[in-house]
């Protein structure tokens, strides 16, 4: 695919209000610096931490943001905008800065994932795309990470593409789940675009298209002796296992080794034990068992707790749409304009003002202990600042890590997160506090607005 750059392709992938607000700013001559902060307000049920992902896509978009002549012609056709404003839009590029958590970072609610500072029109126009891109990948990485925890080293494969919410989600789920520890994906295009390991087995349709199940196994083994995984539940798992044994023996006779058998229905814990025994009784200890079909961290934990003999899991739909929490209560909020800290007071939706930093303290064993959200220029001794500059003057200002490097970083951090915060159900709340400087500015800003507006 030779697509136009993201920022040209998707300049119009925005809410109309971004453009009507931009027109107002333009007519008023409002071009001073605005800072927007993107954060998650609440944990969905059973989530105790988040995994940052999607930053690279947001940066690529900002770097190339530009309205094409087709875009401008469409906007003109709406009759809403002056030709002066459309002429201005034609020249708009993103010239600002971005501070952000590196992809793979573990973070917590209220902590900014990224902060954008730029002339207000530029920062405002980018809102919709940034939320869309960063929230999806963060959502999926945060969900996939839970499967990774439970799997305890067993390889996990993303099988979700068909039921992901659209083509873009299909690609991003493959990327974000890999970042969160998955081994690879069934998604071939994601394999190509992100250089991910790709995996595949066979479908029931393949088995049923042959006059006999065992024939379908033989043909697959013959064509793919290096990656033979046989789906054995089409008619009956036990019968299927016996046929797989026969084909495995035929492979042995050719000096080949079957990789996996795959279970896709029924009581996986019970069936896997039965199938394991059939394989072992026939000297096929080396043939592994892959399980698929409705898996997420909860079902995986159940199957393993029940003694399921599963060597690898294919994780599909429930991870791919983050089924138990399919969106975040996240926001991209203006926190400063023209040097003035700002906030809204709407019921239950207060924002932390001004440019910020997150400092993290680690305990003597190097494990995550406590975070403090501060003003950007505060210094906290013996704590590590987490938000890093990624963009300045509209250009990416540091070498971005590769996806593999972000994955390594995530894995190293997850290992340092104490267990109570990782509990599958009702995790402990990780301590995040506000610095006195931030609290004070917050209070002063709120008082000042109340005096002015109420």
Q: Which residue in the set 17, 84, 286, 447 belongs to the binding site for a second copy (CB under 8 A)? A: 17
Nearest approach, Cβ of 34 to a second copy (angstroms)?
7
Angle (nearest 5°) at CA 134 between 195 and 296: 70
Spatial separation of the C-alpha atoms in residues 297 and 318, rounded to whole Å: 9
| Among 333, 374, 372, residue whose Cα is nearest residue 351 | 333
Nearest approach, Cβ of 287 to a second copy (angstroms)?
18
Site for a second copy in 63-122 (CB under 8 A): 70-71, 74-75, 78, 80, 120
Part in contact with a second copy (CB under 8 A); list of ranges 18-26, 253-261, 278-286, 373-381: 18-26
Instruction: Give me the 173-192 binding string for a second copy, x by CB under 8 A, dash otherwise.
Output: -------------xxxx-xx
Q: Which residue in the set 42, 84, 90, 162 belongs to the binding site for a second copy (CB under 8 A)? A: 162
Residues forming a β-bridge with 117 = 35, 97
Q: Which residue in the set 7, 23, 50, 352 belongs to the binding site for a second copy (CB under 8 A)? A: 23
Nearest approach, Cβ of 13 to a second copy (angstroms)?
4
Nearest approach, Cβ of 291 to a second copy (angstroms)?
13
Spatial separation of the C-alpha atoms in residues 357 and 379, rounded to whole Å: 9
Nearest approach, Cβ of 180 to a second copy (angstroms)?
16
Nearest approach, Cβ of 333 to a second copy (angstroms)?
7
The answer to whether the CB of 72 falls within 8 A of the CB of 90 is yes
Q: Which residue in the set 128, 246, 282, 397 belongs to the binding site for a second copy (CB under 8 A)? A: 128
Instruction: Give me the 334-373 binding string for a second copy, x by CB under 8 A, dash otherwise.
Output: x--x----xxxxxxxx------------------------
Residues 6+ apart with CB under 8 A from 247: 214, 217, 218, 221, 230, 258
Q: Which residue in the set 322, 357, 374, 413 belongs to the binding site for a second copy (CB under 8 A)? A: 322
Nearest approach, Cβ of 277 to a second copy (angstroms)?
19
What are the DSSP calls for 289-356, one per residue? EEE-SS--HHHHHHHHHTT---SEEEE-HHHHTTTTS-S--EEEEEEEETTEE-----TT-----SSE
Site for a second copy in 205-264 (CB under 8 A): 205-209, 212-213, 216, 219-220, 222-224, 227, 233-236, 239, 264
The answer to whether the CB of 221 falls within 8 A of the CB of 258 is yes
* 311 to 285, 300, 304: CA distances (angstroms): 12, 11, 10
Nearer Cβ to a second copy (143/360): 143
Residues forming a β-bridge with 370 = 361
Nearest approach, Cβ of 33 to a second copy (angstroms)?
11
Spatial separation of the C-alpha atoms in residues 75 and 88, rounded to whole Å: 13
Report the relative pairing of strands 384-385 and 368-375 from DSSP bridges.
Answer: unpaired
Part in contact with a second copy (CB under 8 A); list of ranges 104-112, 169-177, 354-362, 365-373: 169-177
Establish if 270 lies at the interface with a second copy (CB under 8 A).
Answer: no
Q: Which residue in the set 39, 199, 359, 410 belongs to the binding site for a second copy (CB under 8 A)? A: 199
Spatial separation of the C-alpha atoms in residues 293 and 316, rounded to whole Å: 7
Nearer Cβ to a second copy (224/298): 224
Establish if 141 lies at the interface with a second copy (CB under 8 A).
Answer: no
Nearer Cβ to a second copy (49/159): 159
Residue environment code for 59-81, b if the CB has 16+ CB neighbours within 10 A, otherwise e: bbbbbbbbbeeebbeebeeeeeb
Nearest approach, Cβ of 367 to a second copy (angstroms)?
33
- Measured between its terminal Cα atoms, the distance across the chain in Å is 54
DSSP state of 115: E
Part in contact with a second copy (CB under 8 A); list of ranges 21-29, 109-117, 359-367, 393-401: 21-29
Nearest approach, Cβ of 295 to a second copy (angstroms)?
14
Nearest approach, Cβ of 238 to a second copy (angstroms)?
9
Instruction: Give me the 284-303 binding string for a second copy, x by CB under 8 A, dash otherwise.
Output: --------------------
Q: How many amino acids of this chain bind a second copy (CB under 8 A)?
A: 115
Q: How many CA atoms lie within 13 A of 218 on its CB side?
A: 9
Give residue 126's Cα distance to chain centre: 19
Nearer Cβ to a second copy (75/386): 75
Establish if 321 lies at the interface with a second copy (CB under 8 A).
Answer: yes
Spatial separation of the C-alpha atoms in residues 158 and 59, rounded to whole Å: 25
Nearest approach, Cβ of 50 to a second copy (angstroms)?
15
* 359 to 111, 120, 371, 388: CA distances (angstroms): 10, 27, 6, 11
Part in contact with a second copy (CB under 8 A); list of ranges 163-171, 248-256, 387-395, 430-438: 163-171
Spatial separation of the C-alpha atoms in residues 243 and 232, rounded to whole Å: 8
């Amino acid at each position: 695919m030779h697509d136009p750059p993201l920022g040209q392709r998707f300049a119009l992938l925005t809410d109309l209000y971004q453009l009507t607000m931009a027109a107002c700013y333009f007519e008023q001559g409002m071009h001073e610096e605005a800072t927007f902060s993107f954060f998650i307000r609440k944990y969905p049920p059973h989530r105790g931490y988040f995994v940052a992902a999607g930053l690279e896509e947001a940066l690529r978009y900002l770097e190339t943001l530009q309205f094409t002549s087709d875009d401008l012609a469409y906007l003109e056709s709406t009759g809403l905008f002056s030709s002066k404003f459309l002429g201005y839009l034609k020249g708009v590029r993103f010239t600002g800065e971005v501070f952000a958590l590196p992809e793979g970072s573990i973070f917590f609610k209220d902590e900014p994932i990224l902060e954008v500072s730029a002339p207000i029109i530029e920062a405002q126009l980018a809102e919709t795309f940034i939320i869309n891109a960063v929230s999806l990948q963060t959502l999926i990485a945060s969900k996939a990470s839970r499967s990774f925890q439970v799997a305890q080293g067993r390889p996990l494969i993303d099988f979700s593409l068909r039921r992901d919410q659209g083509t873009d989600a299909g690609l991003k789920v493959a990327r974000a789940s890999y970042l969160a520890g998955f081994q690879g994906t069934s998604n071939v295009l994601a394999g190509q675009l992100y250089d991910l390991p790709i995996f595949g087995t066979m479908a029931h349709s393949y088995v049923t298209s042959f006059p006999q199940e065992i024939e379908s196994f033989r043909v697959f083994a013959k064509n793919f002796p290096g990656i033979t995984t046989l789906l054995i539940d089409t008619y009956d798992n036990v019968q299927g296992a016996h046929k797989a044994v026969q084909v495995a023996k035929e492979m042995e006779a050719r000096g080949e080794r079957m990789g996996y058998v795959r279970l896709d229905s029924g009581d996986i814990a019970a069936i896997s034990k039965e199938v394991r025994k059939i394989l072992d009784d026939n000297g096929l200890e080396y043939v592994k068992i892959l399980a698929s079909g409705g898996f997420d961290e909860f079902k995986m934990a159940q199957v393993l707790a029940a003694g399921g003999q599963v060597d690898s899991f294919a994780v599909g739909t429930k991870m791919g749409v983050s089924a138990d929490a399919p969106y975040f209560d996240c926001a991209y909020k203006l926190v400063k304009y023209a040097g003035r800290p700002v906030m809204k007071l709407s019921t239950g939706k207060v924002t932390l003002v001004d440019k910020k930093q997150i400092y993290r303290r680690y305990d003597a064993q190097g494990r995550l202990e406590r975070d403090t959200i501060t003003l950007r220029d505060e210094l906290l001794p013996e704590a590590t600042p987490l938000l890093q500059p990624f963009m300045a003057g509209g250009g990416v200002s540091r070498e971005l890590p590769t996806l593999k490097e972000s994955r390594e970083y995530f894995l190293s951090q997850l290992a340092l997160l104490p267990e109570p915060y990782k509990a599958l159900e009702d995790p402990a709340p990780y301590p995040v506090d506000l610095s006195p400087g931030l609290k004070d500015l917050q209070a002063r800003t709120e008082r000042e607005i109340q005096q002015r507006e109420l």
